[in-house]
Amino acid sequence: MPEQQERAADTRSEADQGLRASTPPDSFSLVHEWVIDSLTELAGLRRSLQQALVTSRRAAVDGLSRTPDLMVLVASELATNALRHGRPPTIVRLLADGDGWLLDVADHGVDTAPVLAGVREPGEGGFGLAIARKLALDVGWYATGTTKHVWAVFADTSPADGDAEPADPAPTA
């Protein structure tokens, strides 16, 4: 019975689905960039990103609440996806504008599109993009001739604080 209740609460599709293809807003400016080549570098990325967010002038003035923690989680998930399913190097960029933050995670596997995992058994993974869509205001992806980018936008306050609404969980074509 508990397994049926868990399945009933899971709103994902039974089948894998594509992520919405679109470019992020162009109002963001680069704050910091990291290049990583292996999963062993993720801990350093998380520490450095957290530090960059917390020590930024905007964080000190605006009080980002839980947003840095949420962004570090999403960056880690997207970078893990890029390392596992793309081609190195993985490039993680933090950008900012007057209203929020943009995470852009790129790899060189332009021949594969990001996939939102359908319902899977526990331990099978596949939740990174679902987590990003739940925690970010907007999520999308695009490719250039040599690079695939998955991006997520965050407000200066976190959705958990009630000041922002996360991305619509329903996929769009």
Between CA 31 and CA 146 the distance in angstroms is 23
The pLDDT tens digits for 116-144 are 877 777 777 778 998 999 999 999 999 99
> How many alpha carbons fall within 13 Å on the CB side of residue 66?
12
**Is pLDDT above 70 for 15?**
no
Does residue 137 sit within a domain?
A: yes
- Global pTM reads 0.78
Sign of CA dihedral 136, 140, 145, 147: positive
Does residue 125 sit within a domain?
A: yes
Does residue 85 sit within a domain?
A: yes
- How far is CA 49 from its chain centroid? 13
**pLDDT category of residue 164 using cuts at 50, 70 and 90:** very low
Does residue 90 sit within a domain?
A: yes
Q: How many domains does the chain have?
A: 1
Here the CATH number for the domain that contains residue 112 is 3.30.565.10
Strand extents, DSSP E, the chain: 17-18, 29-36, 90-96, 100-107, 115-116, 138-143, 148-155
Does residue 91 sit within a domain?
A: yes
> In terms of residue numbers, what domain contains 73?
14-159
Q: How many residues are there in the chain?
A: 173
Does residue 57 sit within a domain?
A: yes
Does residue 8 sit within a domain?
A: no
Q: What whole-number percentage of the chain has pLDDT above 90? A: 55
